[in-house]
Amino acid sequence: MADITRSPWLLHYDASSCNGCDIEVLACLTPVFDVERFGIVNTGDPMQADIFLITGAVNAQNAPVVKQIYDQMSDPKVVVAVGVCACTGGVFKEAYNVMGGADKVIPVDIYVPGCAARPQSIIDGVVAAVGLFKERYMQLKNKQPLSVGHLEGGEGS
Amino acid sequence: MLTPLSVRFIYAIAYIVLAPFIGGLLEGIGRKISARMQRRVGPPLLQPFYDISKLLKKKRSQVTRAQGFLLTSYMLLIIFTGAMLFFGTDMLMCFLMLSTAALFLYLAGCVTTSPYSSLGAQRELIQEMAYEPAILLTALGFYLAVGSFDVETIYNSPVSPIMIIPGFFVAFVFILTIKMRKSPFDESTSHHPHQELVKGLTSEMSGRNLAIFNVTEWYETVFLLAVVFLFIKNSSAPLVSGLVGIGVVLLTYFLEILIDNTSARVHWERMLTLTWAVTLCSCGVNLLVLMIVR
């Protein structure tokens, strides 16, 4: 059986991004970067995804959506916050309707900084996520408790 | 010395064992060619197998238990259909089995509450309505060309059936785009995400169930390409016609990829009218010519 890291499928969700990071995520699929070389597919279906890429800050309206998408993904799974808004809330942090980064709602494993995050750093983050994906699979296989990412105000590693 | 019956069993077992590997490899080649057409490097050739391996390793989660049962039935029926063709039985029977299998897929899509999945399932039925006439007429065409529905007789016909029924060949290759779920007819399962359909029929399938669906697709692809091969094969020049047959099969597959990469999804009404028009025209003209000539 082939290594699980050879086929990580991404799910990309735009929480409230300005589309800057979204365009950079899509740029990873273009001929210049072509992440499909590594078997990465940008799927639109949470049930089939392994790595959750979230861009933009989380607000009260989309928090349940983000939570639901996270819950629909089956283990092992990894969450990557792309861009400074998804990491911390960025310049919108103090806005009355913004809750903050993605880690206010779901446990985030990897933070990719930048405004907008460059394709190179996104790919770097995804490669780190693939490593963690394998680690979680081994935990699942050995029936160990799965490691959990950082959740603001919750238990975390 | 092998008896003819045991040879037929070997063909059927070879299909059951080898079809997923051939189908997976064909998909790998297809993805690579697609990538090259878009000036990308593309995934490794064995990527479809890596994907299946990953899907099997994911934690099991399914919306309803019925989904797993229905998908397994779908897979077994498709395998049985292909094995029957390679065993050399009645072609009409094979095509009727194929329709029964499609019904199980429809039910597997319907059984969930997801609107995308239901929409995809309904479109699957529309697709079946579109391609079914062409498939049944193909079986009829083989009967007109060879005088039998028996696959073994068709395989050993003295003249390549395509010489007598080229119109039926055109109709069959045309509906292959629907059966292989390629654009512009990928109505029920859009294979490029982020569209109005998400993943259509397969939206609610994950892990093992999606792996079953994908492997079944490979079995079906090999079955359909085997029918394309039957159009070419004759017993007068078995080696030459066999090689030409394999060439035509590969060319057909390449054509599907080319069409997939150069066209966007059409509305289902367009698909229905276009498919029926092509089926009726090409098969009808062929039938008329045959009636006049004979």
Distance CA A72, CA B61 (A): 9
- Dump pLDDT digits (tens) for A120-152: 999 999 999 999 999 889 888 888 888 887 877
Question: Which domain range does residue B128 map to?
Answer: 4-293
pLDDT value of residue B250 = 94
A153 has pLDDT over 80? no
The single-letter code of the amino acid at B107 is L
Exposure on the CB side of residue A110, measured as CA atoms within 13 A: 22
- As a whole number of angstroms, the distance between CA B29 and CA B185 comes to 21
Cβ pair A126, A35 in contact under 8 A: yes
State the best of A1, A3, A45 to mutate against chain B, taking most chain B CBs within 10 Å.
Answer: A45
Tokens (6 digits) for B244: 């030409």
Decide if pLDDT at B154 tops 60.
yes
Confidence (pTM): 0.91
pLDDT at A1: 53
pLDDT digits (tens, 9 = 90+) for A15-50: 888 888 999 988 988 888 888 888 888 888 888 889
Which member of A9, A50, A74 has the closest CB to residue B61?
A: A74
Are A109 and A129 in contact by the 8 Å Cβ rule? The answer is yes
CA distance A94 to chain B (A): 31
The residue type found at A100 is G
For strand A110-112 and strand A78-82, is the pairing parallel, antiparallel, or unpaired?
Answer: parallel
Look up residue B170 and give its two tokens: 């055109």
CA B201 to chain centre: 17
How far, rounded to the nearest angstrom, does the alpha carbon of residue B3 sit from its chain's CA centroid? 31
pLDDT at A116: 85
User: What distance separates the 2 farthest-apart alpha carbons in chain B?
Assistant: 62
* CB nearest B40 (choices: A31, A43, A74): A31
Q: What is the pLDDT of residue B62?
A: 75
**Please, what is the average pLDDT of chain B?**
89
Q: B45, B46, B53, B57: which to substitute to probe chain A, counting the most A Cβ within 10 Å?
A: B57
Q: What is the ipTM of this complex?
A: 0.88
Peptide bond connecting B20 to the previous residue in cis, omega within 30 degrees of 0: no
What is the pairing mode between strands A98-100 and A9-14? unpaired
Residue A45 CA to residue B121 CA, distance in Å, equals 16
Residue A116 preceded by cis peptide, ω within 30: yes
Mean pLDDT of B181-210: 78
Written as six digits, the tokens of A128 are 């780190």
- When divided into structural domains, chain B yields a total of 1
**Cβ-based contacts of B32 with chain A (< 8 Å):** none
- Choose among A2, A74, A76: nearest Cβ to B206: A74
Summarize pLDDT for A74-128 with one digit per residue, the tens: 888 999 999 999 998 889 888 888 888 888 889 999 999 988 889 999 999 999 9
User: Are residues B90 and B245 in contact, defined by beta-carbon separation less than 8 angstroms?
Assistant: no
Which residues of A fall within a CB distance of 8 Å from B207?
74
Q: Does residue B24 carry a pLDDT above 90?
A: yes
List of domains in chain A: 4-141 (3.40.50.12280)
